[in-house]
Structure 1
Amino acid sequence: MSSVPIAPPPAWVTCPKCATQVPCYEPARSKCFGCFNCRTLFEANPATPTNKGRIIKGFRKENVTGPSLPLGITGALGSYYCRITGYQVRTEQQDRIAEWREYQLRPAEPIVGGDSIDFPLQLAEYQGHWLLIKQARSHPVTKGNHSFQGKEWTSQSTGNTYQLWHRYQPVIRDAQGEFDWNIIEDERLKVQEFTCPPYLLSSEQAPKANSVWYQAEYLEPDQVATAFGVNANTLPSRVGTGAAQPNPHDTAPAWRLFGVAALLLSLLAGWLAITRPSATTTETFTIPAVPAAPAPGAGLLTAPPTVDTLGRAVVPAAGAATPSAPAAATPAASTGYSQMLVSKSIVLTHSSAVDITFTALDLTNHWVEITANLVNEETGRGYEVTRSLEYYEGVEDGESWSEGNRSANVVISGLPPGRYHLNIYPSPEAGTSDTMLLVLLEQHSSFVSNFLIILVLMSAVPLWHWMRHSSFETSRWENSDFAPASD
């Protein structure tokens, strides 16, 4: 209940159906009244209370529950100090399920010089969502009595863009209190509503008349409760999303923060690139062809080259005997082993990562397996990796096809400073020709991936806000027949 006392009205009128006394706070203006006892709408003249009024319409009592805000109560809505003098329940001709309530607001105290342009105000409530309605100062302009046919309009004075939300004709289901016009005549109106949260722009047009425009602003239930001194729990609970309800999930701050963080991260990356230069080496090798495996027992093959403790190939002295191995143990016979290749050295001045890319330039319709060992020349520690390259192409049914890849990449991270080289053990498919192998070693390459990973992780926050924002807007437009098309 309200904590604000309701002042007694200056006049009363008598219901012509049940003889109930109906209060009148605006005897100089009001001419239409709704009886709260028998739900009858009637015309009466407060100046001549003894004259019997004229019944306009009777409403079904069982369809309504009465106003949430008592008639006669006063409150301050922004700069407006007003009194609730009338209450209506409305629905649509095309949808009798949808139902909303409108409260007529009049100045609680006389205004010097007459009413301002905003009065009479209306306070509308639908499913717990409240709108304060007043005359619009900025609205679409049409010629004569033509209605506005657009689905979008931008105000030149405010820059707000309004989108078509709804079109309907109202039906009055109940009325209580006093009104300065015959509200049943509103059932002839054609109404259009355009939303731009927290605002709603609406036009009302009677047959052969010009459109009259109103602008509504969304109010939180707590604002209404505070304005009229009532308990917020006594007001209708909110259901769904209101047409003009502001979206609480503002994505702009999150994206601005993401942009600033991305800029700082980019500056950090640039600073590291300048102050910690990277090392790069590129070499091209020829992988000798490996003949097809000989028949069993065909003889002996040369054993794999000998390497020292640092992983470098050891070349036998002139005239020294070359060790032999049984054919069954020869890599060429079992794996297609060719020979070891040694890259140039690369110097890492600080702890970092090395990105190694193998590219078989003329690999076609066969494969080659690359086993490589990145060796620290000071400690002898090796970091072994294996990659397979294969590429096939052809023509089938007149159409070209290809599969596989001539390149493969691997990143070795967490390498301490030092001098490194790469021992490469290629194993080409037996019975193929020589293959050109391009080897690229790059320092610092892992920072790019780290940079991208951090960006992706940081983008999770604005993306989460965007998803919630989009979900809220989807919920809003579920109640409209004019939802904007999805991009």
Structure 2
Amino acid sequence: MATINLNAFPYSDEVACPKCKNIVTLYDPEGSEYIVCTSCHSFIRFIANDTLVIQKYAPPVNQQPVIRLGSVGFFRGYDFKVIGYIEKKEKAAGYAWREYILYNYEKGYANFAEYDGHWTFVAGKEFYPSLEKLSDRSWNFIEYEENEYNLFNKYTAMTTALIGEFDWDILFEQAKTSEFVAPPNIVYKEQDKPGTSTADFYLGKYAEPAEIAEAFKIDINLFPQKVGIGANQPSVHAKRWLAVGKIVPVLVILVALVGFAASVIKPELQVMDNDYFIVSDSTKVNEFKPFITPSFELKDNSSALDFLIKSDIDNNWLETTVVLVNEKNNQSWEVTESIEYYHGYEAGESWTEGSQEANVLLSDIPNGKYHLNIYPASGDTTNKNIHINILANPVIWRNVWVTILLLCLYPLYAWYRMRNYEKQRWMNSDYSPYEAEE
């Protein structure tokens, strides 16, 4: 067992390999029971009276550890020393990963697990006492600290190579492991470990290489590049989705309230709603004689005006130039709007195109007395009618709804990106909740 309840790391010790006499450094002399000779690769055990006995051959590592044995770092509130490095694989598959045994003189052992450049800090109940509340149940999920962890993988882990020191026969161990994820965390359940009858639980938390490099003073360029999406890699898209999911409903309510407030503070006021008889101008083609409307008054300092222009045109067009004139200073605003309406019957079906009305919006009109100069033109000179309706201070609910729709588009986009990210994550699992959609 690890030497714990100390005030600092114990002094290192050196032992000679009983086979090749190579000197091996021990970083926790009292707590380690097994060591690996880096020269002849003997897996050596301490027995009675600290006698060294070669147990078996320890295969040499395929990759040199990024964090060297003996390295000391301060990581997430604890001092750690790296005392072991293990290469593992799934017994029935080719998935391989690496683990670094971390020794803390107060708590005991933890480790870094690295797979495809994705790093996870893993520790047991010594660091996370609430893990003791978990029990061994054959479920596809685990509830832990108000989060639901979903089953991601099941496998039997085998050690393929190792260096360093250990307090158990890791070469003999073949634990049946289940992984449950709730990014950025992962819970490991290990069963059938030698000398145990119940399952052990460990909590893993995703760690960025830069954080580890800073803690152990390592060149970040030595870390392997990330490949794909890690089982418990946090999703930036999920963060965005959660963020917009909180703020967008508030913004939607605010936009609606602004619309209602505007209708209360400056209520709509109808300043004109008249039919006008128009007379064809015989001296010009498709034109009618211009006319002037009765006056109306705007009392607010600034108003928006919504013009609704209607005409009973039929299979024809009408174009109207409307000039709003301030009777005090002759300041004017001119707009031209066209109306087209066509219909017919073709191939056994009726059809229509266009409309018999049009809208024009003018904004920031100062107070004062106004009238309109109207200049109509139409392809149907028999048309005798034009209707003009003017609302002051209209609440353009269409703009309100368009704004709300636009506000909702980004959450939909964020949700889509988050969902796509999760589908890619679960492609590496035999328990994907998205399999039914494929």
Look up the match of 1:201. 187
Question: Deviation at 1:393?
Answer: 3.2
1:125 aligns with 2:126: no
Secondary structure of 1:12's counterpart equals strand
Mapped to 2, the partners of 1:36 and 1:470 lie a distance apart of 50
Cα pair distance change 1:191/1:142, threshold 3 Å: closer
Look up the match of 2:4. none
8 Å contact kept, 2:317–2:341:
yes
Mapped to 2, the partners of 1:49 and 1:370 lie a distance apart of 106
Look up the match of 2:270. 280
Secondary structure of 1:37's counterpart equals coil
TM-score w.r.t. the length of structure 2 is 0.73
Mapped to 2, the partners of 1:476 and 1:444 lie a distance apart of 48
8 Å contact kept, 1:170–1:189:
yes
Query: C-alpha deviations, 1:248-288, integer Å up to 9, x for none?
Result: 67546677677777777777766665555554234242656
Mapping 1:292-441, distance limit 5 Å = 304=281, 330-331=283-284, 334-335=285-286, 337=288, 340=291, 342=293, 345-360=296-311, 362-430=312-380, 437-441=386-390
Question: Deviation at 1:354?
Answer: 1.8
Amino acid at match of 1:100: W
Question: Deviation at 1:439?
Answer: 2.3
Mapped to 2, the partners of 1:73 and 1:419 lie a distance apart of 85
Cα pair distance change 1:209/1:49, threshold 3 Å: closer
Look up the match of 1:45. 46
Mapped to 2, the partners of 1:449 and 1:406 lie a distance apart of 20
Mapped to 1, the partners of 2:197 and 2:340 lie a distance apart of 79
Amino acid at match of 2:88: R
Cα pair distance change 1:184/1:191, threshold 3 Å: farther
Query: C-alpha deviations, 1:140-172, integer Å up to 9, x for none?
Result: 7554xx3x335xx543xx322334544544443
Amino acid at match of 1:345: F
1:149 aligns with 2:140: yes
8 Å contact kept, 1:166–1:194:
no
Secondary structure of 2:146's counterpart equals coil
Question: Deviation at 1:411?
Answer: 1.8
Mapped to 2, the partners of 1:407 and 1:206 lie a distance apart of 80
Amino acid at match of 1:12: V
8 Å contact kept, 2:177–2:188:
no
Cα pair distance change 1:234/1:416, threshold 3 Å: closer
Mapped to 1, the partners of 2:382 and 2:18 lie a distance apart of 108
Mapped to 2, the partners of 1:439 and 1:140 lie a distance apart of 75
Mapped to 2, the partners of 1:140 and 1:336 lie a distance apart of 87
Question: Deviation at 1:174?
Answer: 2.0
Question: Deviation at 1:390?
Answer: 1.9
Mapping 1:448-467, distance limit 5 Å = 463=410
Look up the match of 1:180. 167
TM-score w.r.t. the length of structure 1 is 0.66
Question: Deviation at 1:134?
Answer: 1.9
8 Å contact kept, 1:355–1:410:
yes
Look up the match of 2:205. 217
Question: Deviation at 1:45?
Answer: 2.8
Cα pair distance change 1:398/1:443, threshold 3 Å: same
Look up the match of 1:295. none
Mapped to 2, the partners of 1:346 and 1:186 lie a distance apart of 92
Alpha carbon RMSD of aligned pairs, Å? 4.6
Cα pair distance change 1:44/1:447, threshold 3 Å: same
Mapped to 1, the partners of 2:189 and 2:353 lie a distance apart of 64
Mapped to 2, the partners of 1:39 and 1:394 lie a distance apart of 93
8 Å contact kept, 2:67–2:218:
no
Cα pair distance change 1:28/1:46, threshold 3 Å: farther
Amino acid at match of 1:439: I
Question: More deviation in 85-94 or 236-245?
Answer: 236-245
Question: More deviation in 230-239 or 258-267?
Answer: 258-267
Mapped to 2, the partners of 1:159 and 1:6 lie a distance apart of 35
Mapping 1:83-98, distance limit 5 Å = 83-92=81-90, 96=94
Look up the match of 1:69. 67
Secondary structure of 1:69's counterpart equals coil
Identity %: 26
Question: Deviation at 1:434?
Answer: 5.3
8 Å contact kept, 2:267–2:394:
no
* Stretches of structure 1 lacking an aligned partner (at least 5 in a row): 110-115, 291-303, 305-326
The one of 98, 103, 119 equivalent to 1:101 is 98
Please identify the structure whose Cα radius of gyration is greater. 1
Question: Deviation at 1:382?
Answer: 3.5
* Stretches of structure 2 lacking an aligned partner (at least 5 in a row): 1-7
Query: C-alpha deviations, 1:309-362, integer Å up to 9, x for none?
Result: xxxxxxxxxxxxxxxxxx6xx23xx215377473552424323332212234x5
Look up the match of 1:192. 179
8 Å contact kept, 1:13–1:44:
no
Question: Deviation at 1:409?
Answer: 1.4
Cα pair distance change 1:258/1:168, threshold 3 Å: same
Mapping 1:246-265, distance limit 5 Å = 246-247=234-235, 250-251=239-240
8 Å contact kept, 1:170–1:187:
yes
Question: Deviation at 1:200?
Answer: 1.7
Mapped to 2, the partners of 1:282 and 1:225 lie a distance apart of 74
Mapped to 1, the partners of 2:387 and 2:343 lie a distance apart of 21
The one of 198, 223, 234 equivalent to 1:236 is 223
Look up the match of 1:319. none
8 Å contact kept, 1:86–1:176:
yes
Mapped to 1, the partners of 2:18 and 2:59 lie a distance apart of 12
